[in-house]
């Protein structure tokens, strides 16, 4: 049984914890570390998992150590856990921007380090994780990380140079989608729909469209054209989105996200 320690059980750490349990992982194979007593009690009673105060004792003995603290806390945490790592333990960072080389520099020589950028749909088994190996991680270590993240969704291995770009698309991407969902719901309410109805319509439209895109493998342009009847309603709406430069706004937002990720690492 692979044992996993999650250091920093905040938003993302809790999602991975709950996602692994949902995927059938044994509570005994998981341990978390959280600083606040109330948070430790909350997590332990919600998940039946051991939650330690100390990152050192949570990391000690684990096969996989997941670093789920904020990027600017991560590098200070690694020297603390370094003396407690089990031989062969893999350190997996979830932190935006922090490079495997930066982490390796804070850990004993030869420690296998893997960088993962997950996303929040992992909570429901629909996550998207992008994974890059550090210089000491073997193919077997990489396979362990892939199989861990596949328990909570889809996982792909990418060159580390693409991690900041991937963060701009899949890591932060759910926030853009929820932003669109909020906009559609508010638009529906403005047009007179009850909020519950607007919410159902927006949610199912996002879900159905993503499922269609995935299931058919068709290009989104073709799928969009199929919605757009000549002289009809969709063309009228899309003209407004183009006039407001929505595509350009998404590109600029992704660039800002990528740059912030690089800055967090720098």
Ligand X SMILES: NC(=O)C1=CN([C@@H]2O[C@H](COP(=O)(O)OP(=O)(O)OC[C@H]3O[C@@H](n4cnc5c(N)ncnc54)[C@H](OP(=O)(O)O)[C@@H]3O)[C@@H](O)[C@H]2O)C=CC1
Ligand Y SMILES: O=C(O)[C@@H]1CCC=N1
Nearer to ligand Y, 96 or 103 (CB): 96
Q: Which residues pair with 67 in a beta bridge?
A: 7, 93
Residues 160-219 that bind ligand X (CB under 6 A): 171
What residue number has its CB nearest to ligand X?
A: 10
Residue (85 or 122) nearer to ligand Y, CB: 122
d(CA 29, CA 66): 13
Q: Among 6, 43, 55, 142, which residue sits at the site for ligand X (rule: CB under 6 A)?
A: 55
Binding residues for ligand Y, rule: CB under 6 A, are 96, 167, 171-172
The answer to whether 134 is annotated as binding is no
Where are the strands (E) in the chain, listed by range? 4-7, 30-33, 50-52, 64-67, 90-93, 113-117, 127-133, 153-157
Rounded CA separation 169/122 (Å) = 15
**Considering the rule CB under 6 A, would residue 152 count as an interface residue with ligand X?**
no
In the bound complex, what is the minimum distance in angstroms from residue 17's beta carbon to ligand X? 11
Round to whole Å and give the CA distance between 124 and 198.
23
Residue 11 assigned to a binding site: yes
Largest CA distance in the chain: 69
Ligand-binding annotation for 13, yes or no, is no
Residue 36 binds to ligand X (criterion: CB under 6 A): yes
**Contacts (CB under 6 A) with ligand X, residues 92-111:** 94-96
68 binding partner (options ligand X, ligand Y, none; Cβ < 5 to 8 Å by kind): ligand X
20 binds ligand X (CB under 6 A): no
Indicate if the alpha-carbon torsion angle 258, 259, 261, 262 is positive or negative: positive
180, with CB counted inside 10 A (0-12, 13-18, 19+), is middle
User: Do the annotations mark residue 116 as ligand-binding?
Assistant: no
Binding residues for NADP(+): 7-12
């Amino acid at each position: 049984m692979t044992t996993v320690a999650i250091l920093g059980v905040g938003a993302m750490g809790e999602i991975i914890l709950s996602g692994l349990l949902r995927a059938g992982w044994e509570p005994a194979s998981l341990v978390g570390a959280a600083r606040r007593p109330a948070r430790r009690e909350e997590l332990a009673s919600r998940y039946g998992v051991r939650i330690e105060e100390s990152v050192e004792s949570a990391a000690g003995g684990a096969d996989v150590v997941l670093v789920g603290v904020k990027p600017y806390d991560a590098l200070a945490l690694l020297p603390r856990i370094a003396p407690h790592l089990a031989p062969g333990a893999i350190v997996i960072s979830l932190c935006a921007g922090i490079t495997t080389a930066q982490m390796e520099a804070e850990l004993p020589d030869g420690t296998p380090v893997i960088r993962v950028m997950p996303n929040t749909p992992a909570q429901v088994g629909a996550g998207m994780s992008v994974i890059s190996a550090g210089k000491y991680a073997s193919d077997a270590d990489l396979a362990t990380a892939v199989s861990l993240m596949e328990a909570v969704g889809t996982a792909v291995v990418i060159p580390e140079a693409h991690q900041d770009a991937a963060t701009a698309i899949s890591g932060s991407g759910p926030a853009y989608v929820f932003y669109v969902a909020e906009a559609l719901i508010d638009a529906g309410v403005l047009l007179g729909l009850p909020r519950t109805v607007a919410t159902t319509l927006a949610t199912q439209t996002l879900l159905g469209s993503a499922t269609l895109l995935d299931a058919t493998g068709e290009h989104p342009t073709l799928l969009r054209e199929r919605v757009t009847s000549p002289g009809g309603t969709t063309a009228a709406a899309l003209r407004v989105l183009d006039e407001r430069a929505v595509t350009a706004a998404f590109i600029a937002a992704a660039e800002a996200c990528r740059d912030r990720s690089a800055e967090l690492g720098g």
